[in-house]
Amino acid sequence: MVTLKNVCKNYNGKTVLENVNLTLEQTTGLMGQSGIGKTTLLNIIAGLVKPDTGEITGIESKKISFVFQEDRLLEEETALKNLLFVSADKERAISLLTQAGLAESLHKKTAKLSGGMKRRVCICRALIADYDVLLMDEPFKGLDEEIKLKTMHMVKDNLRENATVLLVTHDQAEADFFGGKVVKF
């Protein structure tokens, strides 16, 4: 179990997070207005940003996978190679990309893919990684409703057993779909 206790973060004298106390259950949806610190909180949990004060316990020996708000793909590599960058399991990589509706795009450079296709590659890359904690920062943004629903099912079907999942979203239906606790931030 991952627990945050009195986590605070300031940027240039502006308080972004103040005394955040949160226990992450198997699945936790995190909702709140833009600019309230949700992404900062994910970055702190991932160890990419240090909190000014407070502590996080239960994360020390955990492997983390992350779907960032930005795509952060290897643009000159193919969709398949983006997944193989984090896992040698080619069969699973092909399976995930196929489930995400990208079977025809396995060998296309990601720079040539549409925004929605890139998002799905990012999601597949996070799912194929070896993780105990999966952080997803608005992973379904930019997907049309039909593709979003299919992608959400694909994610749910491919989550690692006993993994802790933290989903940041503005969409109550997304949070409800994955179940678990929903925290309004």
Q: What residue ranges define each of the domains in the chain, with the CATH number in brackets?
A: 2-184 (3.40.50.300)
Question: What sign results for the dihedral spanned by CA atoms 29, 34, 40, 41?
Answer: negative
Q: What is the pTM of this model?
A: 0.94
Q: Which amino acid is at 85?
A: F
The residues facing 4 across adjacent strands are 22, 56
pLDDT reported for residue 185: 82
Instruction: List the chain residues with pLDDT less than 70.
Output: none
Distances (CA, A) of 152 to 139, 145, 146, 165, 181: 9, 10, 10, 13, 17
Q: Which amino acid is at 99?
A: Q
pLDDT reported for residue 35: 85
pLDDT reported for residue 1: 84
pLDDT reported for residue 71: 93
Which of 151, 160, 152, 142 has its CA nearest to residue 178? 152
Decide if 164 contacts 59 (C-beta within 8 A). Answer: no
